[in-house]
Amino acid sequence: MIKAIKTFTAFALLAVMVSTVSCVKKDDFDNAPTTNIDPDIVTNTTVANVVALTNPSAPQMITNDMVFSAIVVADDKSGNYYKEMIVQDSTAGISILLDQPSYFTSFFIGRRVFVKAKGLYIQSVNGTPKIGVLNNGSVSAIPATLIGNYIVGGKWGLSVIPAKRNLNTLTDADLNTLVQFDSVGFSPADVGQTYADAANKLTVNRTVKDCNNNSLIVRTSGYANFASSVIPCKGGNLTAIYQKYNTTAQVFIRDESDFTANQERCDGMVCTITYLSIDSLRNMFAAGTTTIPGGIHIKATVTSDYTTNALATGNIIFQDATAGICIRFTSTPNYTLGTQVDLNVGGLSLSENKGWLQINNAAAGTIISGLPSITPTEITLADATANFEKYESMLIKVVNVTINNGTATTYYGASSGKLTISDGTTPNSIVLYTRSAATFASSSTPTTPVSITGILTQFYSDKQLQIRNLSDVQ
C-alpha cells in the first residue's frame, strides 16, 4: 500500500510539473521534456506480468496498481501503425492503443515510457495482446485527453536489440517485440511489386522466405509512407514487430530501413538485370528443358494479335532485331499488336512444345517504348523451309503466293486448317495454318497470287505460316 501511494504521488507531481512547464492541462498529451531524463516514477511490475493478465475470451480490467516502464519499438511516424504503439522491456512486449494521431512527436521509437496500467483493459485482439480502455465490450484506444493519466514519457535515444529468430520459430513470447531475421528475401512473385496499395489505401500481405524455404507474411498498410516503394530483389536482414492475426503469424516493418536488401539471394534468383537478345536466348536451348539464368530480361515487340484468336490463349509472339520467340504466360496480359515490353525471363524454362520453341510460365512485363519497329522479313518459302529454325516465330513476308492451288476455300478449309501454299520456289514444305477458333477461319481465301505476312510456327513435323488477321493477306 505504501508503494502504491508513492507511485500515485509521483504521477500526480509529474502531472503538475508537466502542466507548469509545457502550459498544457493535466490530462493533455505529454510533450517531450526539455531534458533527457526519466521522471521520478517508481515501477513495480514488468510487461510480462501485465501480458499474463490477458483473458483470451474477454477484456480483462487491470485492477492492481501496476506501473511498468518500457521502450517504444514502433510508433506511427511512417503510418504503418495507426493509433497503436508497441513497447517492450526485457521481459515482453505489448501493444498500447492511443486515440492520438501523430503521437510519435512525443512517444517515439527509442523513448522510454512509464505506464500506469490500473484502470486500463487488456485483451487478446485476434491473437495479439493489446491494452486500452473499454468501449462497447472491447479494448479500444485511450482517448487523447486521458493519455497523460496513464502514460508519461521518459528518456529517449535508447535502443532495443532485436531478438534473432528464424521465420518458423516464432512463439507467443515474441508477440509485440522487435525481432530480426537474417538472410531472408521477398518472394520472387513480390519482387518489383509495391509494399502496399498506396493509391487505394489498401493493406497488402507480402511474403519473405529464408534459405530453407520457410516463409512469413510481411503486412504493410496502404497509409504507410513507403507503401508505394518497390520491394527490392536482393535479400538481407529483416527487422520487424511480430504480431498475429488469429493463428496467422505476421510481421510489420517500421520503415524501409528495416530491410537491409544488401545480400545475394540464396534461392537462385539473380537481382542484377542482364539484357539479352532473343537470338542469344534461343541459342541457350539444349534438348529437353533449359532453365534461363536468373536476372535475364529481354526487350521486345509483340508481333501477334490476340484479338483474332489466331494463336492459342496464353501464347504471345515477341520479336526484336535478332529473332522471335513464343512466350506462354500464366495469365495472359492481352498485349496488343505492336506493344513493346520489358520482360523478366530469368528462371523460366525454354522447351519445345510439339516442336515449337517457347518460354514457359512468364509473368506480365513492363510496357516500354523506344524500340525499333518490327517489319516483316521478306523471304521465299524455300528459304523458310531450309532455314526454319532461324526464322521460327519471326514475322516474315512471302510474295506471289498461291493458296490451295488457286481453288476457292476458307482459311480453316476442309483439312483442319492446313492449306498448301506455293511461291514457285522449291523445296517447299510450308503450309498455311489457321485455327478453327480464329475470327477469320470461315473467310474465303483468294484464288489469285497474293503476298502473305505471318509468323512461322511449328506443330510436330509441320512447318506452318500463320497469319494474324486478314490484313496479312494482300
pLDDT tens-digit profile, the chain (474 residues): 333 333 333 433 333 333 333 333 333 334 445 579 999 999 999 999 999 999 888 999 999 999 999 999 999 999 999 999 999 999 999 999 999 999 999 999 999 999 999 999 999 999 999 999 999 999 999 999 999 999 999 999 999 999 999 999 999 999 999 999 999 999 999 998 999 999 999 999 999 999 999 999 999 999 999 999 999 999 999 999 999 999 999 999 999 999 999 998 988 787 888 999 999 999 999 889 999 987 899 999 999 999 999 999 889 999 999 999 999 998 888 899 999 999 999 889 999 999 999 999 999 999 999 999 999 999 999 999 999 999 999 999 999 999 999 999 999 988 899 999 999 999 999 999 999 999 999 999 999 999 999 999 999 999 999 999 999 999
Q: What is the CATH number of domain 377-472?
A: 2.40.50
Q: Are 132 and 121 spatial neighbours (Cβ–Cβ below 8 Å)?
A: yes
Separation between Cα atoms, residue 319 and residue 303, nearest integer Å: 7
E strands of 374-461, at which residues? 377-378, 395-403, 418-422, 430-433, 450-459
Taking CA atoms, 82 is separated from 85, 141, 200, 216, in Å, by 8, 10, 17, 22
The pLDDT score that the predictor gives to residue 273 is 86
Q: Which of the four CATH numbers 2.60.120.380, 1.10.3720.10, 2.40.50.140, 1.20.120.530 does domain 274-368 have?
A: 2.40.50.140
**Would you list the DSSP string of 328-382?**
EESS---PPTT-EEEEE-TT-EEEEETTEEEEEEEPP-EEE--PPPP-PEE--HH
Separation between Cα atoms, residue 421 and residue 432, nearest integer Å: 6
pTM of the model: 0.60
CB atoms within 10 A of CB 3: 11
Q: Are 368 and 341 spatial neighbours (Cβ–Cβ below 8 Å)?
A: yes
Q: What is the dihedral of CA 72, 177, 149, 123, to 10 degrees?
A: 160
Q: Which of the four CATH numbers 3.40.50.10860, 3.30.930.10, 3.40.50.1100, 2.40.50.140 does domain 2-153 have?
A: 2.40.50.140
Residue-range domain boundaries for the chain: 2-153, 163-258, 274-368, 377-472
Q: Are 70 and 51 spatial neighbours (Cβ–Cβ below 8 Å)?
A: no
Would you call 185 helix, strand, or coil by DSSP? strand
Q: Are 124 and 56 spatial neighbours (Cβ–Cβ below 8 Å)?
A: yes
Taking CA atoms, 257 is separated from 125, 182, 276, 402, in Å, by 28, 14, 33, 66
Q: What is the CATH number of domain 163-258?
A: 2.40.50
Q: Are 189 and 44 spatial neighbours (Cβ–Cβ below 8 Å)?
A: no
CA angle 96, 102, 108 (to 5 degrees): 65
Q: Are 62 and 118 spatial neighbours (Cβ–Cβ below 8 Å)?
A: yes
Phi, psi of 3 (to 5 degrees): -65, -40
Matching fold, domains 163-258 and 274-368: yes
Question: How deeply is 451 buried, as exposed, middle or buried, from its count of CB atoms within 10 A (0-12, 13-18, 19+)?
Answer: middle
